[in-house]
Copies of this chain bind each other. A is one copy, B any other.
Amino acid sequence: MNAQLHTTPSHDYKVADISLADWGRKEIDIAEHEMPGLMAIRRKYAPQAPLKGVRVTGSLHMTIQTAVLIETLKDLGADVRWASCNIFSTQDHAAAAIAASGTPVFAWKGETLEEYWDCTLAALSFPDGKGGFLGPQLVVDDGGDVTLLIHKGYALEQGDDSWVNSPSASHEEQVIKALLKRTLKERPGFWTKVVADWKGVSEETTTGVHRLYQLAEAGKLLVPAINVNDSVTKSKFDNLYGCRESLADGLKRAMDVMLAGKVAVVCGYGDVGKGSAHSLRAYGCRVIVTEIDPICALQAAMEGFEVTTVEDTLGIADIYVTATGNKDIITLEHMQAMKDQAIVCNIGHFDNEIQVDRLKASGAVCTNIKPQVDKYTFPDGHAIFLLAEGRLVNLGCATGHPSFVMSNSFSNQTLAQIDLWANRDRYQPKVYLLPKKLDEEVARLHLEKIGVKLTQLTPAQADYLGVPVDGPFKPEHYRY
């Protein structure tokens, strides 16, 4: 990777190829038309500049859509630094356009793990004008890597070195620990200073939210957190409809494979799995679902999917998609027993849904077909294809979710950032959901673009239902 870290005031970014900026800008222009929620928020809030001067660090796939989010935050007054949250998910022309516009961004497609965490650190390091660094006041997180790094760094500086000195479960853990040891030496007291200024985080994903709840339950969460993932207009749109569009996109760009007639296994039938399974069926796949949760399993059955275990599909299925948020879903032994030329990919969260490390160490011969497409041939001669090295296939092999659905998610992110800052004195170090009224507002901002005409409650009807004429309309436990 020939990307170079520039931290002089004039070139505070690290991207693959700054000459892609023009192309990136053209696509950002197109995306703005598809992101009516963010554009409406700009129109409504920019005049007041509610994030004026606030230092915001983002760790979120550096795509065209994210570029529109970044520029929305800047329009609201924020001082933004950005990194990607996945080594393969950056769109280099998007990163170039953001860099060219003067926003510090540290992201390119195909980072090493060492580079990835260095980028994360760079996004956290706001020059203080005196040769040192300040941390962010707000964090936009996706998967919780920034939150993790700050918490671990802070713990280390507080004298708790148990984690950094414990045996590492993965190569990535080693990398993080090495980074923390280095910052401890190079920037003593840095993490403590970061925590002092940090007012809150809004988190995008199921996985990251899960980590936050665990921290909160353990009493270790350092700042208020807004769970953006569980806004209806996020989890029921981005996770479901986003994946319904982007899974097949990733498979097609990677493999150009005919989906009709294939047997596809979708592991997990949450929102991501639902979107994935329905997309594959619509293409003419025979879809088999695996589940641990009896309710989700029953839902899959009611939709006509066969529900069984991965083991029962070996030798039969052509395509495997993990969508669980859990680990070790596709094991090395599974891959060894799959049909020749089976395709294996992940759209859940981390690459550990598939035992990639064990596969690499297994003696299977790896042939790279093209970027993000590897063929592993086992000693017995049969082979499988692993996409995006087990990381998110829609981001690694295609361009992630399309703009319109991300406009929903990112409108929630932006409203969360505004609220975290405006009410920074009132929030506690807990995990919050956005109020339903805002959730409905995000939806409302997207209706006109697609020609939806809402019906208006009469006062008599609102009274009959016992809800305000303009909402919110549903009880908190409503599931949509």
The residues of A with any CB-CB pair to B shorter than 8 Å are 23, 26-27, 30, 33-34, 64, 210, 213-214, 230, 232-233, 235-237, 241, 244-245, 248-249, 252-253, 255-263, 271, 279, 281-287, 290-310, 312, 316, 325-328, 340-341, 367, 369-370, 375, 398-399, 401-405, 408, 433, 439-441, 443-444, 446-447, 450-458, 460-461, 464-466, 471, 473-475, 477-480
A440 to chain B, nearest CB (A): 5
Knowing A235-B479, A301-B447, A465-B210 are in contact, say whether A255-B30 is a contact too (CB < 8 A). yes
Can you identify 12 A-B contacts, CB atoms within 8 angstroms? A26-B375, A233-B298, A244-B283, A260-B303, A284-B304, A292-B456, A295-B439, A295-B474, A297-B454, A298-B408, A307-B447, A327-B460
Q: Which of B213, B244, B295, B456 contacts A232 (CB 8 A)?
A: B295
CB-defined contacts of A306 to chain B, threshold 8 Å: 286
Instruction: Evaluate contact between A259 and B245: CB separation under 8 angstroms.
Output: yes
Q: Which interface residue of A257, A310, A458 has the most chain B CB atoms within 10 A?
A: A257
Instruction: Evaluate contact between A302 and B260: CB separation under 8 angstroms.
Output: yes
A111 to chain B, nearest CB (A): 22
CB-defined contacts of A440 to chain B, threshold 8 Å: 293-295
CB-defined contacts of A256 to chain B, threshold 8 Å: 27, 64, 399, 402-403
Cα separation A327 to B479 with both chains bound (whole Å): 22
Which chain B residue has the least Cβ–Cβ distance from A248? B248
Q: Which of B283, B287, B454 contacts A292 (CB 8 A)?
A: B454
Instruction: Evaluate contact between A232 and B285: CB separation under 8 angstroms.
Output: no
Cα separation A198 to B281 with both chains bound (whole Å): 46
CB-defined contacts of A452 to chain B, threshold 8 Å: 297-298, 300-301, 307-308
CB-defined contacts of A26 to chain B, threshold 8 Å: 367, 369-370, 375
CB-defined contacts of A301 to chain B, threshold 8 Å: 260-261, 284, 447, 450, 452
CB-defined contacts of A291 to chain B, threshold 8 Å: 454-455
Q: Which of B245, B295, B303 contacts A480 (CB 8 A)?
A: B295
Q: Which of B258, B300, B471 contacts A402 (CB 8 A)?
A: B258
Cα separation A440 to B291 with both chains bound (whole Å): 13
Q: Which interface residue of A23, A304, A370, A441 has the most chain B CB atoms within 10 A?
A: A304
Instruction: Evaluate contact between A241 and B284: CB separation under 8 angstroms.
Output: yes
Which chain B residue has the least Cβ–Cβ distance from A439? B295
Instruction: Evaluate contact between B298 and A258: CB separation under 8 angstroms.
Output: no
Cα separation A423 to B304 with both chains bound (whole Å): 39
Cα separation A473 to B214 with both chains bound (whole Å): 14
A145 to chain B, nearest CB (A): 17
Knowing A235-B479, A304-B284, A405-B260 are in contact, say whether A297-B443 is a contact too (CB < 8 A). yes
Instruction: Evaluate contact between A292 and B455: CB separation under 8 angstroms.
Output: yes
Cα separation A262 to B458 with both chains bound (whole Å): 29
Instruction: Evaluate contact between A328 and B261: CB separation under 8 angstroms.
Output: no
Further pairs besides A263-B450, A297-B443, A327-B464: 14, Cβ < 8 Å: A214-B466, A244-B283, A245-B252, A249-B253, A253-B253, A256-B403, A257-B403, A260-B405, A261-B301, A281-B304, A286-B305, A287-B304, A292-B454, A307-B453
Which chain B residue has the least Cβ–Cβ distance from A445? B294
Cα separation A294 to B442 with both chains bound (whole Å): 9
Q: Which of B245, B307, B480 contacts A479 (CB 8 A)?
A: B480
CB-defined contacts of A451 to chain B, threshold 8 Å: 263, 316
CB-defined contacts of A30 to chain B, threshold 8 Å: 255, 341, 369
Instruction: Evaluate contact between B299 and A236: CB separation under 8 angstroms.
Output: yes
Q: Which interface residue of A256, A327, A457 has the most chain B CB atoms within 10 A?
A: A256
Instruction: Evaluate contact between A258 and B439: CB separation under 8 angstroms.
Output: no
Which chain B residue has the least Cβ–Cβ distance from A472? B293
Q: Which interface residue of A237, A293, A295 has the most chain B CB atoms within 10 A?
A: A295
CB-defined contacts of A244 to chain B, threshold 8 Å: 260, 283-284
Which chain B residue has the least Cβ–Cβ distance from A255? B30
Knowing A325-B465, A455-B292 are in contact, say whether A34-B235 is a contact too (CB < 8 A). no
